[in-house]
Structure 1
Amino acid sequence: MISKKSLIKTVVLTAVCLGLFIMFAFIYKQSRVEIFDVWAMKNISDIHQPVLIDVFTFFTNSASKPYQYAIFIFFAVIWLVGEKKWIEPFVLGVCLFGIRFENQWFKNWFERDRPMYDRVIEITGYSFPSGHAMISIAFFGLLSYLLVQNYAFLRAYRKYIYFLTALFIGLVGFSRVYLGVHFPTDVLGGFAAGGTWLLLCVLLYKWLVGLANRRVH
C-alpha cells in the first residue's frame, strides 16, 4: 500500500517544482538574469578544452532521442513480455512521450533564441526550457524509480542508484551550457519543468498500483 504521507510528500514536491518553473519562466527575460546568463556563458566558453568538449558531447548524446526510445523499448519489452506487467511500461511511455510534447510546446510558446557564445555544436530550435534537461530528469528519473520499486535486490542500493542518476542528469544539463547551446536558466527551467512531470508520473504510478492492489484484494 502507498502511504498517505508518501503521497502528500510527492504532491508537495510537485507543487514546489511547478512553482520553480513558473519563476524561471517569468524571470529569464529580466535584465539582471540576462546579465548573469551572458556572464556564465562567456566564462564557461573560456574553459573550453578538446577533452572536455568530447566528454560533454558524450553526455549530451547519451540523453538524445534515439537512446531514450531504445531504452524505453528495451524495458517495455522486459516488463510486457517477460514479466507480464503493464503499469510500468505504460507510465514510462506517458512520461517519455508526454515530456517530449511538453518541451516542444514550451519552446514554441516562449520562443527564446539560443545563445551565440562560442557554440561548440550546431542545433536549431528555441532555447527555453532545455529539452535535454527537461526530458532527462523526467525519463531517467522515473526509470530509476521504477527499477527500484520493481526489483527488491536494487532497493538496498537505491541511494546509490538515485545519486548516480542525479549525477548523470546534472552532467547532461551542464553539457548543454558548456557546449554553448543553452543558457543556465534554460537548464534550470528545464529541470523544474521536467521534475514536475516526473513527480506527476510518480503519482500516476502510485495511483495505478494502488488501484491494482485494491482489485486483487
Structure 2
Amino acid sequence: MTLNNSVKRTFILITVFMVLFMMFAYLYHKPFIEAVDVWSMKNVSDLHQSRLNSFFIFITDAASRPYQYGVLIFFSVIWLLAERKWREPLVLGICLIGVRYGNHWLKISFERIRPEFDRVIEITGYSFPSGHAMISLAFFGLLSYLLVQNYSFLQPYKKIIYIITSLFIFMVGFSRVYLGVHYPTDVFGGFLAGGTWLLVCVLLYKWLKMRWSS
C-alpha cells in the first residue's frame, strides 16, 4: 500500500469513528439505550468478588495518569537522548496531552452523571465518554504503533503486539464498567473518541516523517 492510499484510508477511518461517536453521543440518553446500560451494570455488578475487585482495580490503575506520564517520560528519554529521535516523543506527547484535554472538554460538554450502582471504587466527575477508555486507546495504541514502526526486530511480532495492546485496552474499558464508575456506552464512546484521536496522531506522525525526509 502506497503512502497516499494509507493516508486516504486513515482519513476514511477518522470520518467513520467521528460519525459513530456522534451517534453514541446522540443515543446514549435514549430510553432503550439507558435500559441496556442499566441492565448491563446490574449484571456486571453480580460478578463482584474480592479477587476480581483487586484485579480490575490493578488494571484500571495501570492506565491511570501517573503511569501514562511515566511511560511517556521513559520512552521520550530513550528516543531523545539515546537515539536522537524527536518525532516520536513529540507526537506521543501531543497524543497524551491532547486526548486528556479532549476528554475533559467532552465530559463537561455532555455532563452525564456517573452510574449509582454497586461501586467498587469512588470517583468524581462526569461519565461520558470514559477517560480511561479514550486515553488508553489513543495513547497505548499510538505507543505500540510507534514501537513497531521504529524497531525492525518487532516487525515479525507486530500482530501479537497489537493483539496484546488491544486486549489491555479492552480490559481497561471493561474495568470501568466492572468497578461501577461508567456505563458501557461511556466506554464505547471513549473508544470511538480515542480511536479518532489515535488516527489523527498517526497522520501527524506520517506527515512529519514525509515532510522531514523530503
When normalised by structure 2's length, the TM-score is: 0.98
What does 1:1-217 align with in structure 2 at a 5 Å threshold? 3-214=3-214
CA distance in 1, matches of 2:203, 2:188: 23
| 1:90-122 deviation per Cα after TM superposition (whole angstroms, max 9, x unaligned) | 000000000000000011110000001101100
SS in 2 for 1:173: helix
CA distance in 1, matches of 2:156, 2:5: 21
AA of the residue aligned to 2:76? A
CA distance in 1, matches of 2:170, 2:176: 10
Q: How far does residue 19 in structure 1 lie from its aligned partner after superposition?
A: 1.1
More moved, 49-58 vs 182-191 = 49-58
CA distance in 1, matches of 2:31, 2:177: 19
Does the 8 Å contact 1:173/1:187 carry over to 2? yes
| 1:32-90 deviation per Cα after TM superposition (whole angstroms, max 9, x unaligned) | 00000000001111111111111111110000000000000000011111111110000
AA of the residue aligned to 1:46? D
More moved, 137-146 vs 41-50 = 41-50
AA of the residue aligned to 1:127? S
List gaps (5 residues or longer) in structure 2.
none
AA of the residue aligned to 1:111? E
Q: How far does residue 6 in structure 1 lie from its aligned partner after superposition?
A: 1.0
CA distance in 1, matches of 2:72, 2:8: 29
SS in 2 for 1:43: helix
Does the 8 Å contact 1:106/1:128 carry over to 2? yes
AA of the residue aligned to 1:72? L
CA distance in 2, matches of 1:20, 1:119: 28
CA distance in 2, matches of 1:14, 1:147: 22
Give every structure 1 segment of 4 or more consecutive aligned residues whose post-TM-superposition deviation is greater than 3 Å: none
AA of the residue aligned to 1:23? M
Would you say how many aligned residue pairs link Structure 1 and Structure 2? 214
SS in 1 for 2:36: helix
CA distance in 2, matches of 1:192, 1:20: 7
Q: How far does residue 125 in structure 1 lie from its aligned partner after superposition?
A: 0.3
| 1:156-214 deviation per Cα after TM superposition (whole angstroms, max 9, x unaligned) | 10000000000000000000000000000000000000000000000000000001110
Q: How far does residue 5 in structure 1 lie from its aligned partner after superposition?
A: 1.4
Q: Percent identity?
A: 63
Q: How far does residue 2 in structure 1 lie from its aligned partner after superposition?
A: 5.9
